Amino acid sequence: MHNRQSSLLPAPASFGPKRWILAFAAQLATASLFVASLPAEPASAITIRIPRNRNPYRVCALELVDAGVAPDVAASACAGALHPRDISKCVVQINRKTKISAADALSSCRRVRRPDELTTCVVDISSRSRTQAAEPLLVLDSCRRSLLPEVFSECVVGLSRRLDFSTERLMSTCLDSRDRVGQLDGRPAPTPPAELIPPPSRLN
């Protein structure tokens, strides 16, 4: 009887391979679920980015030539600028937003301390003034001559919305009123009373 029951049971050795396969399958399934639960990496994370050449002199020359400036003139302008990108931005914006050529814009952009303010002045007067338009080159020259280009343009644009004067007359008025030599804020320096002015010292 004992021998007959023993013959009905599988041999102990037959459990080994099956148990190993089941254990391996369970581990593989667990690993698959773990990997699936991880957040997917964005495509940009594995993209190799090559830094672009941002040399300011190169970009300055490229922008000026694209705007229509002769290569030798562009090279001289960019090489002589402390901040070459400021020069090229000034030229490009004025050329795109007004009827002023890149060559004429460059002549003025190189002669001011703050090319960005010159750009704002020229573009604002050309596009926002509501009176009779002035010659584009006159607008450019007036903004260049102004000590405070942004304040000057606000003066011209503001007056144009209330007064029926030509833009040329408004520019002349704002230049005479705001840009006195040595007075950057547009206000004349007060003159002290005569009695408060100390007499010149005398050397013994």
Q: How far apart are CA 130 and CA 127, in angstroms?
A: 8
Per the structure, the count of domains in the chain is: 2
**Between helices 102-109 and 136-145, what is the axis angle to 10°?**
10
Please, what is the average pLDDT of the chain? 77
Domain assignment of residue 106, given as a range: 53-111
- Is 119 a domain residue? yes
Residues 121 and 139 in one domain: yes
Residues 133 and 147 in one domain: yes
- Is 168 a domain residue? yes
pLDDT, greater one: 117 or 198:
117
Residues 99 and 130 in one domain: no
Residues 103 and 124 in one domain: no
Model pLDDT for residues 68-120, shown as the tens digit of each residue: 999 999 999 999 999 999 999 999 999 999 999 999 999 999 999 999 999 99
CB 99 within 8 A of CB 124: no
- Is 32 a domain residue? no
Inform me whether the pLDDT recorded for 51 exceeds 60.
Answer: no
- Is 7 a domain residue? no
Q: Model-level pTM greater than 0.95? A: no
